[in-house]
Amino acid sequence: MGAVLCYYLNITPNIQELVFLCHSKKRSIIHLIEMLQFAVVCGNHFVMKIGSAIILDGNLTFFPYDEKTGGVCMAYRILIVDDELILTELLSIHLQDHGYTVSVANSSDEALAKLNTKPNLILLDINMPGMDGLELCKVIRNHIVCPILFLTARITEQDKVNGLRAGGDDYITKPFGLQELLARIEAHLRRDERNNRPPEVVTSQGLIINLSGRKVFWNEQELSFSKREFDIIEFLSSNPNQVFDKERIYEAVWGYDAEGDSNVIKEHIRKIRAKLMQASGSEYIETVWGMGYRWKK
């Protein structure tokens, strides 16, 4: 059951009131995407449409209205990686106020997990406990094509050189002005727009699965998998926490018309588990007895 919400912004000289109406609408759970229409109201007259939004997996994402095309501008996704909670909260609010969709990570491990949001730009602090920003940048740069902007108090020329050589695209020194940060973000997004596409990467418990390159990495080490093994990894990791029986996995990987035995899935998954366990010490594919297998997120 999904919610359809219609928002109207009532503006008077002294007050702004957000009023919403909602009703239920049956939709497929798999395709739970609800479009919302936004409008500005001055008195009793609509003056302009300001955008639309989508509810996907319980998250509301707003898309500004594009007057040139008459449609909506898909909001850029920005990932902020910094262990300073106050700073990340401030930046998140400020960027959302300017129409961006923001995700926040307060550590490198959390940042690796948040790569699944497919950011269009990453703001990355260098001085973080554990894996610092430079090391994180080196780990993800071969899999993420979006601009990476370093945020740091380090100010020496060598620090800037190190950041750029690690794969960063820009370097903003703390403290910085929010207007300068916005201008730099806009400049990098404009520059990147021509060739911009969401990175085809899935991350899971430190594992990086490059779907477009059909490669799997653990701590920068590439793991070797056969074609069918990778196909199974791609299918399960792209649908985390969902249980699939052998027949469904066989159909997804070999095709509906394939002639063969779905029991081969058991042997392929055994080999995948062994390779992942040897590299990472973790088990990613869980057996749900009597039902099938699922990828643990």
- Considering the domain architecture, whether residues 43 and 85 belong to the same structural domain is answered as no
- Considering the domain architecture, whether residues 195 and 208 belong to the same structural domain is answered as no
CATH number reported for the structural domain that contains residue 265 in this entry? 1.10.10.10
CA–CA gap between residue 236 and residue 141 (Å, rounded): 24
Q: Which of 39-48, 56-65, 190-199 has the lowest mean pLDDT?
A: 39-48
pLDDT at 93: 93
| DSSP notation for 250-289 | HHHHH-TT--S-TTHHHHHHHHHHHHHHHHHS---EEEET
pLDDT at 295: 95
Q: For residue 20, give every residue at least 6 positions away whose Cβ sits within 8 Å of its Cβ, in sequence order, or none.
A: 5, 6, 7, 8
Q: Where is pLDDT greater, at 216 or 172?
A: 216
pLDDT at 176: 86
Last residue of a domain, one of 150, 173, 199: 199
- Considering the domain architecture, whether residues 176 and 211 belong to the same structural domain is answered as no
pLDDT at 201: 86
pTM for the whole thing? Answer: 0.56
pLDDT at 195: 56
pLDDT at 268: 94
CA dihedral 241, 136, 193, 37 (to 10 degrees): 40
Last residue of a domain, one of 177, 199, 221: 199
- Considering the domain architecture, whether residues 149 and 190 belong to the same structural domain is answered as yes
Q: Which of 42-56, 256-270, 275-289 has the lowest mean pLDDT?
A: 42-56
Could you list the residue range(s) of the whole structural domain that residue 36 is in? 2-72
Q: Which of 57-61, 159-163, 248-252, 284-288 has the lowest mean pLDDT?
A: 57-61
Any idea what the Cα angle at residue 183 is, between residues 177 and 186, rounded to 5°?
140
pLDDT digits (tens, 9 = 90+) for 25-45: 333 322 323 333 333 333 333
CATH number reported for the structural domain that contains residue 165 in this entry? 3.40.50.2300
pLDDT digits (tens, 9 = 90+) for 88-131: 999 999 999 998 999 999 999 999 989 988 899 999 999 888 89
pLDDT at 66: 45
Q: Where is pLDDT greater, at 34 or 177?
A: 177
pLDDT at 194: 52
- Considering the domain architecture, whether residues 57 and 129 belong to the same structural domain is answered as no
pLDDT at 119: 92
- Considering the domain architecture, whether residues 87 and 63 belong to the same structural domain is answered as no
- Considering the domain architecture, whether residues 275 and 185 belong to the same structural domain is answered as no
- Considering the domain architecture, whether residues 111 and 140 belong to the same structural domain is answered as yes
pLDDT at 155: 67
Q: Which of 156-170, 215-229, 250-264 has the lowest mean pLDDT?
A: 250-264
Last residue of a domain, one of 182, 199, 216: 199
Count up the domains in the chain and report the number: 3
Nearest partner of 82 among 13, 150, 28, 4, judged by Cα:
150
Percent of the chain, pLDDT > 90?
Answer: 39
pLDDT at 197: 55
- Considering the domain architecture, whether residues 34 and 106 belong to the same structural domain is answered as no
Number of H helices, E strands in the chain: 8, 17
pLDDT at 292: 94
pLDDT at 71: 42
- Considering the domain architecture, whether residues 181 and 163 belong to the same structural domain is answered as yes
- Considering the domain architecture, whether residues 194 and 85 belong to the same structural domain is answered as yes
pLDDT band at 232 (very low <50, low <70, confident <90, very high): very high
- Considering the domain architecture, whether residues 91 and 190 belong to the same structural domain is answered as yes
For 280-292, what is the mean pLDDT?
93
pLDDT at 196: 53
Percent of the chain, pLDDT > 70?
Answer: 71
